Structures are given as C-alpha cells and as structure tokens.
C-alpha cells in the first residue's frame, strides 16, 4: 500500500518534475517552416544600362535620371568628357511586387521607351525552395528624331524597336549576385541588307557588395556574330552603386552613350581599348551615372 502511495505521489507530480527540465519554452511550439524569398540581390532594378532581377516594390514610383558623357580620352580639353552628355529620364512603377512598368525619354535620337517586367520565379529557401529568380522583360523603343532623308517615303514602323529579355539570376550569398540575360532585339529598319532585323545577344552581369551601402557592378552584352554591322562593338560597363536612404547613385564607366536596349546592344561604336592604326587612343570609355529616387505612392494595405 505504501508503495502504491509513493507511486501515486510520483505520478501526480511527474509533470511538474519534468517541467523543470524544459530549457526552452518556445521549443514547445515547434518550428514553423516558412518560405524565405531572397531580397536585395541588387541595389536597384538596373545594373548599369540594362535591367537587374530586382523589381520596384508595389506602389512605389522610382524616378530615374541618367547621363552618359563623352569619352574621357580628351582629358582636360572637355573635362574628361563632361562637356557632352546624353540624358535619359524615366519613371518606373511597381504595380505588384512581381510586376512593374516604366517609361522614359532619351535625348539621343529622341527615343521614348516603355517596358513591362514580370518576376516569373522568385529565389527562395525554407518551405518552398527555388534556386533562381527568373524575370521576363519586354521593352519597346520609338525613335522620334527626324528621318535623315525627308524626300523618300518614311514609315512610322521604321521608328520602332522591340526587346525581349529573360533575366536569370541568383543571389549566391550576401555579397555576390549574378545574372544571365538572353536577349532578342527586333529592329524594323536596318541600315543594310547584310544586317539582321532580329539580333540575339547574351548578357551577363553581377554585383559584389563592398560595404552595406556600396556595391561594385559589372555588365556585359555579347552580340552573337554576323548579325550587326561590324563597325559596332559589345558594351561593357563597370560601376558602383551607392545607396543613401531614399536615393541610389549609380556611377559607372561604360563604352556606350546609349541608355536604350537597341542603342547599347547594337549601336555601341567605340571599344574600351581602341587604338587607331597610327596609335591614336580612341578608347570609348566614358563616365556616366543613374540616380534613382523612390516615392511611396500607394501605401501597403494596412500594415496594422
């Protein structure tokens, strides 16, 4: 009987005794696995000239103003190219966190451009796993500069250029993000019969985070051979993103004076290290910048 009593005593207090051993109260709830999406693969939605896998957030307006200057090769005569500039300004807007649109106007050839970018896949870990981010970009450009020959019949369609691009990217770690950009560019009018209306190019870009607020970016577009006039070359750009609160300053060196897809992919004239046969430096390296300023237009539906 006594034994029974002791047993009862022990059993009755068992939960209390065991309770003493629970080191971590929260472990009682169990771990809930959540899907974690990769964020901030790039500081902004452009690498240098072309797009990055980042989107403008829903309800946010991103005002961009960009300049590309003349080549730095003339030195002090034109303050390393600062005397001559081509300008693009534009507005990007996030309709949802995955869909964004934008419009812009470039001074060179008086081009208007408009685009739509959609995030098809989002890199994530945890519950749902996805190794990459995949986006689709469609961009149209209208060249509105007067036709050089006013006398011949000029069609409006000759002003149009279209770009289709897939952006396949991955944030490998906090510092390194890389992306590939297979690109198809359609030009309604080309200069000569030997040139293709449809041009295929492959872009590669990446960024390395140097500090919390500064990244080093690089971007290169390779145009597959025998599609465009051989006087044109591929565009290579290297730059820094500097983020200060609501602004991102992108300062870079590039060999293109264009900020539209048809311009920097198919009409880049001067190489980084070009020398004429008599040894004259004709390097196309030029300084440029993009400044991005964001405004929250539509506040997220009740964060409260």
Partner 1 sequence: MKNRIVILGVLLALGFSAQAQKYFTRDARVQFNSDTPVEKIEAVNKSGTSVLDTQTGRMDWKVLIKNFLFEKALMQEHFNENYMESTKYPNATFKGSITNLQDVNFAKDGTYKVTAKGAMTIHGVEQEITVPGTLTVGGGAVKVKADFVVKPADYKIDIPGVVRDNIAKEIAVTIDASLKPMGK
- Give contact residues for partner 1 (rule: CB under 8 A): 1, 5, 8-9, 11-16, 19, 24-26, 28-29, 32, 34, 36, 39-40, 57-60, 94, 174, 212-213, 243-246, 294, 296, 299-300, 303-304
Q: Which residues pair with 58 in a beta bridge?
A: 94
Residue 25 or 231 with smaller CB distance to partner 1:
25
Residue 247 or 275 with smaller CB distance to partner 1:
247
Rounded least distance, CB 116 to partner 1, Å? 19
Place of tokens 């440029």: 288
Rounded least distance, CB 27 to partner 1, Å? 9
Residue 4 or 231 with smaller CB distance to partner 1:
4
- Between the alpha carbon of residue 162 and those of residues 80, 95, 183, 284, the distances in Å are 33, 22, 11, 26
Rounded least distance, CB 273 to partner 1, Å? 36
Structure tokens at 174: 């906090």
Residue 75 or 245 with smaller CB distance to partner 1:
245
Q: What's phi and psi for 40, nearest 5 deg?
A: 50, 50
Asked if residues 172 and 157 have their Cβ atoms less than 8 Å apart, the reply is: no
CB neighbourhood size of 139 (10 A) = 23
Rounded least distance, CB 139 to partner 1, Å? 23
For residue 168, give the nearest of 72, 259, 52 by alpha carbon: 52
Asked if residues 101 and 92 have their Cβ atoms less than 8 Å apart, the reply is: yes
Rounded least distance, CB 34 to partner 1, Å? 8
Rounded least distance, CB 74 to partner 1, Å? 35
Query: What's the CA dihedral at 65, 70, 75, 80 to 10 degrees?
Result: 0
Residue 36 or 191 with smaller CB distance to partner 1:
36
Residue 58 or 199 with smaller CB distance to partner 1:
58
Rounded least distance, CB 50 to partner 1, Å? 21
DSSP 208-271: EEEETTEEEEEEEEEEPSSSS-TT-B-EEEEEEEEEETTEEEEEEEES----SHHHHHH-B---
Residue 231 or 303 with smaller CB distance to partner 1:
303
């Amino acid at each position: 009987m006594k034994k029974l009593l002791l047993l009862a005593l022990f059993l009755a207090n068992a939960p209390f005794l065991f309770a003493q051993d629970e080191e971590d109260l929260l472990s009682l709830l169990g771990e809930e696995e959540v899907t974690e999406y990769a964020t901030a693969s790039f500081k902004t939605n452009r690498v240098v000239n072309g797009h990055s896998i980042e989107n403008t957030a829903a309800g946010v307006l991103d005002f961009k103003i960009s300049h590309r200057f003349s080549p730095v090769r003339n030195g002090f005569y034109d303050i390393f190219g600062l005397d001559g500039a081509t300008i693009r300004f534009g507005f990007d807007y996030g309709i949802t966190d995955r869909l964004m649109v934008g419009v812009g106007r470039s001074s060179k050839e008086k081009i208007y451009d408009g685009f739509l970018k959609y995030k098809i896949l989002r890199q994530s870990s945890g519950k749902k796993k996805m190794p990459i981010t995949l986006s689709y970009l469609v961009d149209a450009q209208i060249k509105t500069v007067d036709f050089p020959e006013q006398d011949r019949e000029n069609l409006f369609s000759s002003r149009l250029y279209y770009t289709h691009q897939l952006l396949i990217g991955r944030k490998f770690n906090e510092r390194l993000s890389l992306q590939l950009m297979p690109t198809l560019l359609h030009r309604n009018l080309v200069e000569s019969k030997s040139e293709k209306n449809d041009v295929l190019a492959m872009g590669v870009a990446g960024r390395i985070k140097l500090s919390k607020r500064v990244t080093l970016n690089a971007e290169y577009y390779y145009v597959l051979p025998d599609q465009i006039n051989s006087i044109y070359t591929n565009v290579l750009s290297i730059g820094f993103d500097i983020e200060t609160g609501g602004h991102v300053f992108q300062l870079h060196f590039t060999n293109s004076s264009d900020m539209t897809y048809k311009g920097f992919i198919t009409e880049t004239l001067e190489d980084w290290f070009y020398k004429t046969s008599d040894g004259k430096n004709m390097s196309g390296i030029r300084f440029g910048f993009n400044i991005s300023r964001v405004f929250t237009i539509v506040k997220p539906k009740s964060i409260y």
